[in-house]
A and B are shown apart, each in its own frame.
Chain A
Amino acid sequence: MVPFNFLVAVCLGYVAILFLVAFWAERRAAAGKDGWLRSPYIYTLSLSVYCTAWTFYGAVGYAARSGLEFLTIYLGPTAIMIGWWLLLRKLVRIGQSQRITSVADLISSRFGKSTVLGVIVTLLAVVGTTPYIALQLQSVTLSFSVFAAQSSEAWTPPSLNATALWVAGGLAAFTIIFGTRKIDSNERHHGVVMAIAVEAVVKLFALIAVGVFVVWGIAGGVGGVMERIDASPIAQWQVTNGRWIGLTFLSAAAFLCLPRMFQVLVVENADERHLSTASWAFPAYLLAMSLFVLPIAVIGLEVLPAGANPDLFVLTLPLSMGQEGLAMLSFLGGFSSATSMVIVASIALATMVSNHIVMPIWLRLQPKDVSVSGDVRSVLIVSRRASIAAVLALGYMYYVMSGGGAALAAIGLISFVGVAQFLPAMLGGIFWRGANGRGAAVGLLLGAAIWAYSLFLPSFGAGAILSEQLLAEGPWGVGWLRPQALFGIEGLDPVVHAVLWSMLLNTVTFVGVSLFTFPNALERLQGAQFINVFHLSRETKGWQASRVESEDLLIMAQRIIGGRDAQRLFADAANKQGKVGYLPDPTPEFLEKLERELAGSVGAATAHAMVGQIVGRASVSVEDLMAVADETQQMMEYSNQLEAKSDELARTARKLREANEKLTALSEQKDTFLSQISHELRTPMTSIRAFAEILQDPSLEHDDTKRYADIIFRETIRLTRLLDDLLDLSVLENGTVALDISAGDLGALIDRSISAAALTGRLTIKRNPAREVRVIETDQDRLAQVFINLIKNAEKYCDADKPELKISVRSVGDVLQVDFVDNGKGISPADSEVIFEKFSRLSDGARAGGAGLGLAICREIVLNLGGEIAYLPGQGGGAFRVSLPSRVALAAE
């Protein structure tokens, strides 16, 4: 038997541990050692605020009543998490880039930073969440009462209401201490998140512990459980299709829209990448949470007396088996579920209330002078703290007034339907450019009204708020307006009925009004930002430069985000503008940045209004938008020009590089040429000097003298020829050669060339004289020089047994081609590329006499004559083709 004091001591001890954990996390974060706190698994665990006491205790009760239907509550969030790539990724990115502080801020900010929408969403969230907080208080007090009932010792627990009051007070203290340390909602509440993560582990562990005890301790293993399920009152599948789909959809919608879920999913998200881990880890957590629900329900139905409350099986089952330790653990699990939900929900609601209700009213009350007076910071903190206390007080009052009965147990789903009304505006806002604020407001109001009329108010019971007569017959006897059978459609489950009509009409009016009205300029700007969040990193230019005093702005900023941060922000901005000091020019960019920083603390709408008070213009006009568009256009043109210029520069650089390469190659060629020429000149000079020395010997015989003189003579001839060739080449290369153009017969020219070549008779020459009869107008002597050279080469290098040279003439159009083909082995392809270069040596070294200038001279001559000479491969021997115009154009002159 658990004494009451012991129970209270455990409870307080657990809370103390949570305080310590939160303190420790805040300390570490403050010291900059927050790497571990930012882990994706902490993020995943923090999402478990979805699993409240309603799911911890209630899921078993739910299963005991309607079998597997309880799974819908977990399948909806699973779908959202698994599909994170589609939706959550965008939501989180928008949340980070726009510094969104709550679901109300998201909708208000998207639709033109509208104050009205912020108020609507905030009020609906408060109405929807307060009963839910009451439900948590109820579950904690109920679990206390379970222990009281079990206790033999006649401790009279203080009345349940007092317990609830203590719990609410304690939670308010914890939340105020750790939930309002930072004014900027975008800064993480490390302490709170860490405490929630710990609680997530405790509740999962507790539920699994009870489950393991039930399955293996009572039922005797998995097989036993399966048999007992088959034998239980819920042995058959009894979920209607409408509820299966409807509730899954509802839980998915609520997962996105519940203020506390939005807080942990989007606002407290430290890193977008955490989503990818949470995408599977959180569904896995949910699966683990629901794995043992059915066994516990079935065994509870079997073991416990018929009247037992199935909502408390998780507690009463271990107690009835005498497992007090386990029951205590399970109690802590339920306690964790309840407290974590209440903490996060009250932080989220307090942010919304203070940013969207208190701040606008406070601003309105301020005298309309240039600067914002009063200490905004303290107003904010006080309003946050007061809001937390107020939210919890509301929850407590709701609990007391509702009497903690069964009506409260049904509030979970009812609350879901209420907050799900945000869904159309939220999804429309981030995926549809055409969505506008009026549509969102009308849709929200209509959806909320239908929810209240068809589900929320009737939930208090017939006669409580709506009279029995109204419920049965409709207002003024109009049958099709009956709250639970709208439009005369009866037989629907009340929750599915409310989901269907409220969501349908909400969406239809939202879309319809958006289609037929026009958004204002700021809405359009914000819409573009939200929808293109993955492509647009540029900030909205909502402000036009005007004569604002930066000093006023600084004063205001200091009052909201604190002196140090504000001064740093201003100094950074001034620095970026190239100024020294703390007062940057109030450029549109700077105003936008400032507004966004402020929005992180007070929400987009209030921040916009506050900057507007100083700047003197609270919204942009369509003209401003056009100006922005013009500016963008100009910037694009300028960037296009820059691009064109840079292309041109690249082209020039390429040309320069090519020219440089050419120059380098030429310089190398020149070096080679010089070294070769010296070599060519030195060889004959050496022999001349040697023989001249020998000739000085007086004892030389006459014959020898004559022979040596002869050698000297021949070497000088060779030298002279080399020098002549060089001169010739240089003249030809410079293009300064004087050509002596005259008309003559090609055949005669070839005849002359052959005889001038002074052949030894070894080479047979084959010709077709008939084809050679044509007149060519060119420099006859120069062309003959080319032919002679080619014929001599053939004689020198043709290595066939019976050397043959075929000279054939052909004209192609205006071009005359003279081919010289011998029957030797020709020149290898590698060599054929260089034979026209000066001093080129063939790789086999078959160079006999000459300095290797012949073909180079030939090429220059032919080029000067307006033609070209090429080596023809694949002719069965060495083959050269000289192509000439039949009439030389004197281009060179």
Chain B
Amino acid sequence: MAERPKISFFLPQDGFRRRRLADAARILPVLGGILMMIPMLWGVDQGGEADPAKTSNAAVYVFCVWAGVIIAAAMLAPFLARIEDED
């Protein structure tokens, strides 16, 4: 089935594809939100035994997730714009 011609994915009548793309557009912010909530588990220095996360590592994590979400959005955007056109 991988041989399916690529163009057929985005034909106007391909309503199923379009709806799934719109679903992806809705899921992406939720996914990003969950990933961005993970820092809440790192804890704050309260004199406890567990050390809080290092800022340098935290920054790498946050910026990587951020960039990943942006790239995903950029890949979705052209297709969503096409759906918009057809509306």
Contacts and interface: CB of A to CB of B under 8 A. Distances in A.
Given A82-B69, A85-B26, A276-B84, A236 B53 contact: yes
B15 interface: no
A273 B78 CA distance: 10
A201 B60 CA distance: 25
Contact of B62 (A71, A86, A229): A71
Contact of B69 (A245, A272, A273, A283): A283
Contacts of A236: 45, 51-55
B56 A229 contact: yes
Contacts of B11: none
Interface in A246-273: 248, 272-273
Given A244-B40, A284-B70, A82 B55 contact: no
Interface in A18-44: none
B70 A229 contact: no
A280 interface: yes
B40 A534 contact: no
A235 B44 contact: no
A247 B57 CA distance: 21
B77 A79 contact: no
Nearest to A225: B56
A82 B62 CA distance: 16
Interface residues of B, number: 39
A294 interface: yes
A230 B56 CA distance: 6
A245 to B, nearest CB: 7
B29 A276 contact: no
Contact of A85 (B25, B32, B59, B71): B25
B70 A68 contact: no
Contacts of A281: 74
A68 B22 CA distance: 33
B56 A245 contact: no
A828 B28 CA distance: 66
Interface string B71-87: 10110011011001101
Contact of B36 (A237, A248, A277): A248
A238 interface: yes
A235 B74 CA distance: 33
A234 interface: yes
A272 B62 CA distance: 30
A232 B25 CA distance: 40
A287 interface: yes
B29 A83 contact: yes
A324 to B, nearest CB: 30
Contacts of A276: 77-78, 80-81, 84
A272 B85 CA distance: 9
A755 interface: no
Given A79-B33, A82-B69, A229-B55, A273 B39 contact: no
B59 to A, nearest CB: 6
A240 B52 CA distance: 11
Contacts of A71: 62
Contacts of B71: 280
Give the contact-size bracket for chain A: 35 or more
B54 A237 contact: yes
A239 B32 contact: no
B16 interface: no
Given A83-B29, A230-B54, A236-B54, A78 B84 contact: no
B22 A238 contact: no
Given A230-B54, A236-B54, A240-B44, A245 B37 contact: yes
A235 B39 contact: no
B66 interface: yes
A287 B67 contact: yes
A279 interface: yes
A245 B33 CA distance: 10
Summarize B's interface: helix, strand, loop or mixed: helix
A462 interface: no
Given A68-B62, A82-B29, A279 B77 contact: yes
Contacts of B51: 236
A237 B42 contact: yes
A152 interface: no
A82 B37 CA distance: 16
B81 A273 contact: yes
Contacts of B54: 229-230, 235-237
Given A279-B77, A280-B77, A291-B63, A79 B52 contact: no
A68 B32 contact: no
A156 interface: no
B73 to A, nearest CB: 4
A89 B71 CA distance: 20
A241 interface: yes
A230 B59 CA distance: 11
A75 interface: yes
A75 B36 CA distance: 9
Contact of B28 (A83, A238, A294, A534): A83
A238 B73 contact: no
Contacts of B22: 85
A281 to B, nearest CB: 8
Contact of B26 (A81, A86, A245, A534): A86
Interface centre among A78, A84, A85, by most B CB within 10 Å?
A: A85
B44 to A, nearest CB: 6
A237 B44 contact: yes
A78 B69 contact: yes
Contacts of B44: 237-240
A506 to B, nearest CB: 22
A79 B74 CA distance: 14
Nearest to B31: A82
A574 B84 CA distance: 33
A230 B77 CA distance: 38
A320 B81 CA distance: 48
Contacts of A241: 40
A291 B64 CA distance: 11
Interface of B: 22, 25-26, 28-29, 32-33, 36-37, 39-40, 42-45, 51-56, 58-59, 62-63, 66-67, 69-71, 73-74, 77-78, 80-81, 84-85, 87
Given A234-B55, A248-B36, A279-B80, 19 more contacts: A82-B28, A82-B29, A82-B73, A86-B26, A229-B55, A237-B53, A239-B39, A244-B40, A273-B81, A276-B81, A279-B77, A280-B71, A280-B74, A280-B77, A281-B74, A283-B70, A284-B74, A287-B67, A294-B59
26 contacts: A67-B55, A68-B55, A75-B66, A82-B69, A85-B80, A86-B25, A86-B29, A89-B84, A229-B55, A230-B54, A234-B55, A235-B54, A236-B51, A236-B54, A237-B54, A237-B55, A238-B44, A238-B52, A239-B39, A240-B44, A244-B39, A244-B40, A273-B84, A287-B66, A294-B59, A534-B87
